[in-house]
Amino acid sequence: MVRHDSRNTGYTNETVPEELELLWRYEPRGEWDRLVTSVLGKIIPEIRMMISTDPLVADGKVFVIFNVKLHALDADTGELIWCYDPPFPCRLCSSIAISDGKVFVSFDKTYALDADTGEIIWSFSGDTIAVVDGKIFVGSQAQDKIYRLDADTGKIIKSYKLKGYNLGAYSLAVADEKVFVFFGA
């Protein structure tokens, strides 16, 4: 899960060497990548690509969204393993999480992808995600609800109405048997 855990703490017990060195560099290539780079490059000349999520590292892979596509990279070499290019319309800022060999990502809807192949396992109409204990919590701005889904099947376990809030942009965190919903304009 991006930001380390369902609480989004960003804290880890991982060790880091005193001296850092660049091990590899990845630059996506393709028509959309060139378009994004050329358009944004006119506004900000130094821009090479747009990253719209923090990288997620698990099971020897790095998952990150570049130029509105989810890339799975080999953590040791930086080589592309697979790339998921979502249908449009899609959001620039997306959520990603990983659990039990599945990557969960929100673009035009929420997808569960096989972490090894990038194949779609299931999809659900939702905008933001948090994964805890084999359950995925998905927020849906259009439905004004939070759904608790089975992470393996995408089937609804329960839904929670948010009582008429105009959500705007929002995100989820789960801690102490509570789901926290953060709203923004």
> Could you state, in chain order, the average pLDDT of each consecutive group of 10 residues for the chain (185 residues)?
51 75 75 56 52 80 85 93 80 76 88 96 88 84 84 92 63 78 63
Residue 95 in contact with residue 112, Cβ under 8 Å? no
In the chain, DSSP finds a helix count (H) and a strand count (E) of 1, 14
Residue 149 in contact with residue 159, Cβ under 8 Å? no
Q: Check residue 114 and report its DSSP letter.
A: E
Token pair of 75, please? 């953590």
Phi, psi of 50 (to 5 degrees): -110, 120
Sequence-distant (≥ 6) Cβ neighbours of residue 41 within 8 angstroms? 47, 48
Q: Is residue 9 part of a domain?
A: no
d(CA 79, CA 17): 23
Q: Is residue 2 part of a domain?
A: no
Q: Is residue 10 part of a domain?
A: no
The range of the structural domain enclosing residue 51 comes to 31-184
CATH of the domain at 138: 2.40.128.630
Total domain count, the chain? 1
Q: Is residue 14 part of a domain?
A: no
What pLDDT is attached to residue 101? 94
Q: Is residue 13 part of a domain?
A: no
